[in-house]
């Protein structure tokens, strides 16, 4: 009997679902997945973003777009607090970003987190069958694969972690670390952003759990075999470049150049999150002004930082600190016709954002830790290759592995940041073009669609469905 290649249905599980068009604010993740779902048809399953008073009142919604069903379910208030605002964002997010100092360990929220993984898996189970390719995303759903297996799912199960996976010494601080990593082995393929993340995960499996590492990312523990590899995520580079050339982008580019006049415009674009190194970045900019009076009146810094998880104290505290520091820098250095720092918390459309990137001479992407960082890639895609801006990139962003031609900095060092800014401001057009050409190749050669297809090819393995 000949095996005929028939594409399996793709089932995506992620905390937030959609959008399926390319206008969404979610960036590369949604774009890459939406692309694959539009092509293959499938199911996208996750949280509705709404809460219900109790489990009985929680609703399930289905929206059909083309060949794709978007299925979402509500969470209870208790689940929102224990799962999303609790274990996911007070424990796992800081821990996996190497911030043990901020991680809270609470058994109550851990139980709710596991409960949500179990309940969501139970709701998905009747909607899928063994021929489907199920692809689960991110730190909200570490136990999801194990739950589906418990319910009897025997098909192919993949997982992609969008954020870093730190070394075993850090992960071990999590009381549930062994359970959590063992549960991840229920998947067939585990994807990480970088080789470092993959190696850290493999180190946990071998050193802490007693598993074995083989060829091509194979990890074995008892009777389980899992393939763990790095699949660096990309952006829809051509689509983003088109955005940068749209009339809306053009208006924003013009506006930015108008307010900059003959000054060097520096931008940063990040969710307001402590992992993004915003305070350290501002200190670096402050250091530049302090030590180089010739830059006064000649540079200005626009930080776009939409509010994120504002209910959590660590995020509220960050906002206060950032605004205080910006006020301090402006108070000290501003003149009647020059305000060195502006912070904006409002969201922008993707076209507007593309225009802002294109209008900037320097982009600061200086997270203390970041799984990948799509802003770095978007900035590169949005530049005019004839007169491109300069990317200053943290050595601790996953994107650093592919974007080595950026100016690489240690985001903790104000001196290093100030020095990189000096270099960026003074960089000659030839060097800007040379660096940008290399960065552009990297961004256009590994797009969101490539990421998605590479992962799915490994997940699909050579298992074709019989005719």
Q: Which stretch binds ligand ADQ (CB under 6 A): 245-253, 374-382, 400-408, 421-429?
A: 374-382
What mask of x and - would describe binding to ligand ADQ in positions 219 to 258, judged by CB under 6 A?
A: --------------x-------------------------
Q: Please state the closest distance from residue 376 (CB atom) to ligand ADQ, in A.
A: 8
Q: Which stretch binds ligand ADQ (CB under 6 A): 27-35, 169-177, 207-215, 295-303?
A: 27-35
Q: Is 370 in the site for ligand ADQ (CB under 6 A)?
A: yes
Q: Which stretch binds ligand ADQ (CB under 6 A): 37-45, 108-116, 200-208, 371-379?
A: 371-379
Total site size for ligand ADQ, rule CB under 6 A: 21
Position closest to ligand ADQ via CB: 27
Q: Is 176 in the site for ligand ADQ (CB under 6 A)?
A: no
Strands 212-213 and 218-221: antiparallel
> According to CB under 6 A, which residues from 316 to 355 bind ligand ADQ?
347-348, 353
Taking only Cα atoms into account, the Rg of the chain, rounded to an integer number of angstroms, comes to 23
Q: Is 278 in the site for ligand ADQ (CB under 6 A)?
A: no
Q: Is 190 left (phi over 0), alpha (psi -120 to 50) or beta?
A: beta
- Outline where DSSP puts E strands in 117-258: 133-137, 156-160, 189-192, 212-213, 218-221, 224-230
User: Using CB under 6 A, which of 28, 94, 277, 388 touches ligand ADQ?
Assistant: 28
């998947």: which residue's tokens?
187
- Outline where DSSP puts E strands in 216-309: 218-221, 224-230, 264-269, 299-304
Neighbours of 455 (CB within 10 A): 22
What is the DSSP-derived secondary structure letter of residue 67? T
Active site residues: 162, 370
Whole-number Cα distances in Å, 270 to 33, 94, 464: 22, 17, 41
Residue 291 in 3-state DSSP?
A: helix
User: Using CB under 6 A, which of 306, 315, 334, 454 touches ligand ADQ?
Assistant: 306
Phi and psi for 156 in degrees, rounded to 5?
-80, 135
Q: Is 174 in the site for ligand ADQ (CB under 6 A)?
A: no
Q: Is 402 in the site for ligand ADQ (CB under 6 A)?
A: no
Residue 266 in 3-state DSSP?
A: strand
Instruction: Please tell me the distance from the alpha carbon of residue 273 to that of residue 267, in angstroms, as a whole number.
Output: 16
Q: Is 162 in the site for ligand ADQ (CB under 6 A)?
A: yes
Instruction: Please tell me the distance from the alpha carbon of residue 432 to that of residue 391, in angstroms, as a whole number.
Output: 9
Nearest CB to ligand ADQ, comparing residues 82 and 191: 191
> According to CB under 6 A, which residues from 180 to 209 bind ligand ADQ?
none
User: Using CB under 6 A, which of 10, 13, 16, 27 touches ligand ADQ?
Assistant: 27
Q: Is 161 in the site for ligand ADQ (CB under 6 A)?
A: no
Q: Which helix (H) or strand (E) holds 200?
A: helix 195-203
Instruction: Please tell me the distance from the alpha carbon of residue 444 to that of residue 440, in angstroms, as a whole number.
Output: 6
Q: Please state the closest distance from residue 307 (CB atom) to ligand ADQ, in A.
A: 10
Question: Do 435 and 390 contact (CB within 8 A), yes or no?
Answer: yes
CA-nearest of 396, 411, 403, 344 to 379 is 403
Instruction: Please tell me the distance from the alpha carbon of residue 450 to that of residue 439, in angstroms, as a whole number.
Output: 17
Q: Is 378 in the site for ligand ADQ (CB under 6 A)?
A: yes
Instruction: Please tell me the distance from the alpha carbon of residue 428 to that of residue 446, in angstroms, as a whole number.
Output: 28
Q: Which helix (H) or strand (E) holds 421?
A: helix 414-426
Q: Is 371 in the site for ligand ADQ (CB under 6 A)?
A: yes
User: Using CB under 6 A, which of 196, 373, 383, 447 touches ligand ADQ?
Assistant: 373
Q: Please state the closest distance from residue 95 (CB atom) to ligand ADQ, in A.
A: 14
What is the DSSP-derived secondary structure letter of residue 428? -
User: Using CB under 6 A, which of 6, 25, 107, 434 touches ligand ADQ?
Assistant: 25
Q: Which stretch binds ligand ADQ (CB under 6 A): 252-260, 369-377, 423-431, 442-450?
A: 369-377
Phi and psi for 166 in degrees, rounded to 5?
-80, 175
Output the CA torsion 309→314→316→317 (10° steps).
-160
User: Using CB under 6 A, which of 271, 419, 422, 433 touches ligand ADQ?
Assistant: 271
Q: Which stretch binds ligand ADQ (CB under 6 A): 3-11, 44-52, 277-285, 364-372?
A: 364-372
Q: Please state the closest distance from residue 10 (CB atom) to ligand ADQ, in A.
A: 18
Q: Which stretch binds ligand ADQ (CB under 6 A): 26-34, 171-179, 258-266, 321-329?
A: 26-34
Q: Please state the closest distance from residue 161 (CB atom) to ligand ADQ, in A.
A: 9
Tell me the two tokens of residue 173.
Answer: 């601080």
Neighbours of 23 (CB within 10 A): 11
Q: Is 35 in the site for ligand ADQ (CB under 6 A)?
A: no
Nearest CB to ligand ADQ, comparing residues 373 and 394: 373
Q: Is 380 in the site for ligand ADQ (CB under 6 A)?
A: no
Q: What residues line the site for ligand ADQ (CB under 6 A)? A: 25, 27-29, 162-163, 233, 269, 271, 304, 306, 347-348, 353, 370-375, 378
């Amino acid at each position: 009997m000949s095996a005929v290649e028939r594409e399996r249905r793709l089932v995506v599980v992620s905390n937030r679902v959609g959008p399926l068009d390319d206008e969404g604010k979610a960036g590369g993740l949604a774009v890459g997945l939406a692309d694959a779902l539009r092509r293959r048809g499938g199911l996208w399953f996750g949280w509705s973003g709404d809460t219900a008073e109790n489990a009985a009142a929680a609703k399930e919604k289905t929206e059909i777009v083309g060949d794709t069903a978007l299925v979402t379910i509500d969470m209870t208030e208790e689940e929102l607090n224990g799962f999303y605002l609790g274990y996911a964002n007070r424990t796992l997010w800081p821990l996996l970003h190497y911030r043990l100092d901020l991680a809270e360990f609470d058994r109550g929220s851990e139980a709710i987190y596991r409960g949500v993984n179990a309940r969501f898996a139970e709701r998905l189970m009747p909607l899928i069958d063994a021929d489907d390719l199920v692809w689960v995303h991110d730190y909200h759903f570490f136990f999801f694969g194990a739950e589906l297996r418990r319910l009897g799912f025997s098909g192919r199960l993949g997982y992609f972690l969008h954020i870093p996976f730190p070394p075993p010494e850090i992960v071990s601080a999590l009381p549930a670390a062994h359970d959590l990593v063992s549960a991840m082995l229920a998947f067939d393929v585990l994807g990480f952003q970088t080789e470092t993340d993959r190696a850290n995960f493999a180190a946990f499996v071998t050193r802490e759990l007693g598993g074995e590492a083989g060829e091509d990312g194979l990890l074995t523990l008892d009777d389980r075999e899992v393939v763990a590899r790095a699949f660096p995520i990309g952006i829809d580079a051509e689509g983003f470049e088109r955005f940068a050339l749209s009339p809306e982008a053009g208006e924003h580019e013009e506006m930015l150049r108008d307010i900059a006049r003959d000054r060097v415009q520096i931008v940063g674009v990040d969710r307001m999150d402590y992992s993004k190194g915003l305070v350290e970045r501002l200190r670096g900019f402050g250091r530049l002004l302090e030590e180089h009076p010739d830059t006064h009146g000649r540079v200005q810094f626009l930080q776009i930082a939409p509010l994120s998880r504002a209910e959590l104290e660590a995020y509220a505290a960050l906002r206060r600190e950032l605004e205080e520091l910006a006020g301090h820098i402006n108070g000290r250095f501003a003149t009647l016709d020059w305000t060195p720092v502006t912070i904006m918390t409002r969201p922008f459309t993707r076209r507007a954002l593309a225009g802002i990137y294109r209008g900037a001479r320097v982009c600061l992407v200086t997270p203390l830790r970041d799984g990948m960082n799509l802003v770095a890639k978007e900035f590169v895609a949005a530049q005019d290759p004839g007169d491109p801006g300069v990317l200053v990139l943290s050595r601790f962003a996953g994107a650093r592995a592919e974007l080595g031609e950026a100016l690489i900095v240690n985001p903790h060092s104000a001196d290093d940041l100030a020095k990189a800014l000096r270099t960026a401001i003074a960089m000659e057009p030839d060097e800007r073009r040379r660096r940008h050409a290399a960065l552009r190749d990297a961004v256009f050669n590994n797009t969101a669609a490539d990421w998605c297809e590479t992962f799915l090819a490994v997940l699909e393995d050579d298992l074709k469905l019989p005719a």
